[in-house]
Amino acid sequence: MRFFGKKAATDLASSTITSVTESLYKQNSELAVRNKTLSLLRQLYQISIQTIEPESLGKKIVDTVRSSLEFELVGIFTINSTDKKLTPLSFAFSDRLREAMSKSGESTNLGVSDIADNEFLLSIFTEKKSRHTEKLDHIWTGVIPKETVAAWTEAAHIKTTAGYPLIINGEIMGLLILSLNREYDSLTKFEQESIASFVDVVAIALDKAYLYQELAASNNRQEGLIHFISHEIKGFLAKNEAAFAGILEGDYGDVSAEAKELSEIALADTRKGVTTVMDILSASNLKKGTIKFDMKPFDLKPAVLDAVKDQLDAAAHKSMALNVHIDDGAFMMSGDEKEIGGHVIRNLIDNAVKYTPKGSIDISLVKQDGKIIFAVKDSGIGITDEDKKHLFTEGGRGKDSIKTNVNSTGYGLFIAKQVIDAHKGRIWAESEGPGKGSTFYVELEMMK
Amino acid sequence: MNKLDQIATKIIQEQELIIGPIAWEEAGEVKGIHVHDRNSVSIESDNSGTVVDDLVGKYEHLFGRASREVCRDAVAGLIADLLPAEIPLSLR
C-alpha cells in the first residue's frame, strides 16, 4: 500500500482542482460562443418576423450584424438575374469608414452595373460559393476609382472583404459583403460560426420580404382590376336593367306575352347581376377602407321587420314558415342604418331562406345586458367545421353552398363582418354540422 | 476611452460571458485597473500595456491557457488597428 505525504496530497488536490477549473472554463467558453451566436440569430429572427418591407429589413440586418461583429462594412446587394446588375439594398459602415467615404466626395452609389466585368463577383455567382479578398476595390472594380476605395480601405484599416451568395432554392438572389480590419484566417470561432449561420437566415428573411412585396403589389393590381371591371359591368347591367324595366312598363309599346315573360326573367337576372357586382365593389371598398359609415342613432326593429317582409314571398314559395320574435320596445343603436339593415340583416335572412330547402326559420331580436342580439336560426344545410373557418372571409362560401344557391358570390358574409366590425359588434355562426341547420348571430351595442 | 482601455474592457466583458460577474472582481484586483460600475474600466498607469498583460495573466492563472485565447479572440478587431509594438505582449 502507498501512502502520500501531507504535501504531496495537498499538491495532488490542488492540481486536480486546477484541472477541473480549466476544464469547466473551456466548456463555459464554448457555451459562451454558442450563446453569442444564438443571440445574434435570435435578433435576426426577430427582425425578420417584425419587418416585412425589404429595404427596412435589409437595413436592420446589416446594422445588427455590423454592430454585433464589429465589422467595418456589412452590405447586401440584390441581383437582377437578367442584366446581372447588383443593386445595393442596405449597407452599414463603421464610423471611420463612413467618415472616409464622406470625405472622398465620391458618389455613394455603390451599385455594380454588370458583374460580368468583375472577376471576383462573377466567380461567387458562377460557383455559388463565398470568396474573400484583401482588396476592397475588387467589389467596385471599374465603378469607383481605385484610389478612392484605397483611401477608404486605409482609413478603416480594412484587410479582408468577403462576399457570400444569398441562395434560395438553388438560385442566387443577392450578395452579402463583409469587410473587416483583420486577415480572414484570424476570424474567431464565434465569428466563423455566426457568419456560417446567419448567411442563410438573411437569405430566407429577404426572400420572405420580397415575396410579401410581390404579393402586396399583386393584390393591389387585382383590386384595381376588380374595381375597373366591376364599374364597367355595373354600367352595362344598369343600362340592361333600365331597358328591361322599360319594356315591362310599356315604354316601348305593347309586347307579346313571350317577350314579356322573357323580359321579366332577364330583369330579375340583371338585378341579381347588379347585386353581385355591388357586393364585389363593396368588399373591395371595405378592404381599402374607402367606405365611410354614416353613424346615426336609429331603431333596428323596423330594419328587421322590413327585411322579413321582403322575404315572405320567397319563404312562402318554399312553404317555409318565418317565425319572428322581437322583444318589446325600440332597439336604438348608433350606426349606419343602410349598411346594418340593408346589408347585414337582409343578407342573413336572405341566406337562411336560400340555404334552407324546407323547414322553418326563426328570427329573433332581443336585448341582453346592454346589447342587441339578432339571430337567424334555420333548419337548412348546416355548416361543416371546415367551412366555419372560411365563412366570413372574402369569397369564403361553403364547399357545397353553390349546390343550394347558384348565385352565391361568397362576398355577403365577408361584407357583413366588415360592417359589424366597423360598428364594434360581433357576428358569428353556430351549427352542429352538415344537414343540421345553422344559427347566425349579430351582437351590437345598444344606445344608453 | 483610449484603445487600451477599450481592450481591457472588452477582455473583461468576454470573460464575464464565461465566468460571470467574478470577471469584474478579478479585474479590480489588478493594479492600475479602475472598474466603473462593472461596465467599463480605465487604466491608470504609465505602462498600460503591462497592466493589460497583468489582466490577461490574472485570468490565465485562474483558468488556464484557454483563457488567454479567449482574451486574444475578444480583442482581435481592436488590436488589428494597433502597430505591432503597441500590442501588449500577452495578446501578440
* Cβ–Cβ gap B64/A18 under 8 Å: yes
pLDDT at residue B36, as a whole number: 93
Q: Residue A396 — very low, low, confident or very high, per pLDDT cuts 50/70/90?
A: low
pLDDT at A296 (0 to 100): 93
Contact of A399 with A385, CB cutoff 8 Å: no
Q: How confident is the model at residue A107 (pLDDT cuts 50, 70, 90)?
A: low
Chain A residues lying within 8 Å of B80, measured CB to CB: 157, 159, 181-182, 186
Closest by Cβ to A181, choosing from B64, B70, B77: B77
More confident residue, A424 or A386: A424
Assess contact for A161 and A178: CB atoms under 8 A.
Answer: yes
CB contact under 8 A, B17 and A22: no
Average pLDDT over residues A353-357: 87
Q: How many CA atoms lie within 13 A of A274 on its CB side?
A: 14
Assess whether pLDDT exceeds 70 at residue A401: no
- Give pLDDT, residue A407: 55
Best CA proximity match to A362, nearest among A372, A352, A351: A352
Across the range A292-299, mean pLDDT stands at: 90
- pLDDT tens track for B17-73: 999 999 999 999 999 999 998 899 999 888 899 999 999 999 999 999 999 999 998
Residue-wise pLDDT tens digits, A156-205: 989 899 999 999 999 999 999 999 988 888 787 778 888 888 899 899 99
Dihedral (CA of B36, B37, B38, B39) sign: negative
- The answer to whether A25 contacts B77, with C-beta atoms less than 8 Å apart, is no
Nearest CA in chain B to A185: B76
What is the count of residue pairs from A and B with beta carbons less than 8 Å apart? 45
CB contact under 8 A, A25 and B80: no
Contact state of A188 with B64 under an 8 Å Cβ cutoff: no
Contact at CB, B17 and A21, closer than 8 angstroms: no
Alpha carbon distance A37, A441 (integer Å): 52
* Subunit contact A21:B63, Cβ cutoff 8 A: yes
pLDDT above 60: residue A260:
yes
Percent of chain A's residues with pLDDT above 70: 95
Indicate whether A406 pLDDT > 70.
no
Contact B66 A159 (CB under 8 A): no
Q: Which amino acid is at A309?
A: K
Closest chain A residue to B60, measured at CA: A22
pLDDT at A111: 79
pLDDT for residue A178: 93
Chain B residues with CB-CB distance to A26 below 8 A: 64, 66
Tens of pLDDT, residues A27-73: 998 888 888 888 999 999 999 999 989 999 999 999 999 998 889 99
B46 burial type by CB count under 10 A (0-12 exposed, 13-18 middle, 19+ buried): exposed
> Which pLDDT score, from 0 to 100, does residue A408 have?
60
Query: Does B66 contact A181 at a Cβ distance shorter than 8 Å?
Result: no
Mutating which of B3, B73, B75, B87 best tests the A interface, going by the most A Cβ atoms within 10 A? Answer: B73
Convert the pLDDT of each residue in A269-290 to its tens digit.
Answer: 898 888 888 888 887 778 777 7
Over residues A421-448, mean pLDDT? 92
Across chain A, mean pLDDT equals 87
Residue matched to cell numbers 474573400: A132
Mean pLDDT of A324-329: 93
The C-alpha of B7 sits at a distance from chain A's nearest C-alpha, in angstroms, of 13
Cα–Cα dist A359/A278, whole Å:
31
The Cα–Cα gap between B92 and B86 comes to 10
- Residues in chain B with CB shorter than 8 Å from the CB of A157 are 80-81
Predicted pLDDT at A182: 85
Segment (H or E) for B59: helix B48-63
**What pLDDT, on a 0 to 100 scale, did the predictor assign at position B27?**
96
* Per-residue confidence (pLDDT) for residue A372, from 0 to 100: 96
Residues of B with CB under 8 A from a CB of A: 14, 17-19, 62-67, 70, 73, 76-77, 80-81
